[in-house]
Amino acid sequence: MVLRRLIVLLFLLSTYAFALVLRLPEFDRKNGIKEVFLHDHGDRIEYTIVFWDEDHPNTLTDLLYDLYRLYKWGRFYDIETFFLYPDRIHFPDDFCDSETYFQLENLHNQAELSLDQFEHFNGKPVVYISTWNHMFSNKPLRGVSYLNYKVEKTAFGTRNDAERKYSWRKNVKLKLTLWLFFASLGSMLTTILLKGRSKLCIVVKGLTTTLIATIAMLNAQGPEWLIFAGLIFSLMGDVFLEFDSLFFQGMLAFFTTHLLYSIAFFKLFGASAWWIFVLIYAVVLFQYVFLKNHLGKMKVPVLLYTVMIATMLSLSFAVLKHEIYYARTLIPMGATLFAFSDSYLAWDKFVKKLPLRNLMVLSTYFLGQLFIALSAVVT
């Protein structure tokens, strides 16, 4: 049974994966296609297209619409389906012969068009993405430049299979990730409130990092396990930094975290542009110049730690070279918050006491770690 299914899958991929051409407006490439699911129904092939997101033309409406979609459908991803027959294409409710890409009315329509009604490219029918919410059409919009979309990742399955993979309502792992996300936020706030007021803080602080590490563990594949390992060292660092006598051990634990993150980012995305390294190293080392006169015997350890932070932060921006929608935001933002937390803590410890120390250090630290852990869901 497994062998037969594999043979059918290979046949589908070789026969239908490029049986048509999808064209997406170049200006909306960031919401491009993440994955395509194919399923053979005998007389037709089901195409289920998974887009990274869909952006409403109004920014505020888009934010509210994203929250609505996350609640109703359990995902930010946009999923659309149509059927390819030997002589026609059927769009159940996602056809729109639009006048503009940002059209807001008359979006979801049913249509069944013969293949003769489509443009052809290298003998294959061309399906245009015609609106911001990824309706389809057989006609291009006037004055719009398009990308011929190469289907780089194709899966075997139906619309239901796509929903089970990308919707937390149908995916147990995603549902657990969502609950862990909210639990870690609650634990983070509790840690901030207890810091300096109760010895219980060390327990809740460790719990917060454990919850975040569990998110990474649930979703890790390949190099992402290095992120999980980094979070384990962060947990050790959290404990060490609660005791002044173990500050060096805490710094060593977090040095290892930055090292593991750096390796993970490089393995996943390669190196960042050279100018990013130059800019970040300049900023971070400039801060070290102001710190060094206050460091005493810690000059060399802090310098090495500073270089490691700069390396991790620089490599986090390598994801910008790739069209991985959510990771392009989560990883650089998470790394920046993590680096800011370290900088604020160093200035507070070695130079002078800063206002709102616990709030500034802990909130940016935990949010940074949380964003990096969540990147494992989408990379």
What is the DSSP track for 65-124? HHHHHHHHTS-SSEEEEEEE-SSEEEEEEEE---SSTT--SS--EEEEEEGGGS-EETTE
Evaluate if residue 9 carries a pLDDT over 80: no
- Give the tokens for residue 290: 């102001």
Report CA dihedral (253, 258, 262, 263) to the nearest 10 degrees.
10
**Angle, CA 324 vertex, CA 56 and CA 221 arms, to 5°:** 135
Evaluate if residue 17 carries a pLDDT over 70: no
pLDDT in the model for residue 323? 72
DSSP 3-state assignment of 218? helix
Tens of pLDDT, residue by residue over 98-156, are 999 999 999 999 999 999 999 999 889 999 999 999 999 999 999 999 998 865 557 88
Separation of alpha carbons 195 and 348, rounded Å: 16
Q: Tell me the pairing of strands 78-84 and 88-95.
A: antiparallel
Tens of pLDDT, residue by residue over 254-290, are 999 999 999 999 999 999 999 999 999 999 999 998 8
Q: What is the rounded end-to-end Cα distance, in angstroms, of the chain?
A: 31
pLDDT in the model for residue 153? 58
Tens of pLDDT, residue by residue over 31-86, are 889 899 999 999 999 999 999 999 999 999 999 999 999 999 999 999 999 999 99
pLDDT in the model for residue 355? 86
Mean pLDDT, all residues of the chain: 91
User: What are the boundaries of each domain within the chain?
Assistant: 2-166, 172-378
CA 328 to chain centre: 6
Mean pLDDT, residues 212-218 taken together? 97
The predicted model scores a pTM of 0.84
Tens of pLDDT, residue by residue over 287-343, are 998 888 888 888 999 999 999 999 999 999 999 888 777 778 899 999 999 999 999
Comparing CA positions, the residue from 131, 139, 132, 39 lying closest to residue 81 is 39
Give whole-number Cα distances, 26 to 32, 76, 96, 136, 192, in Å: 9, 21, 19, 15, 44
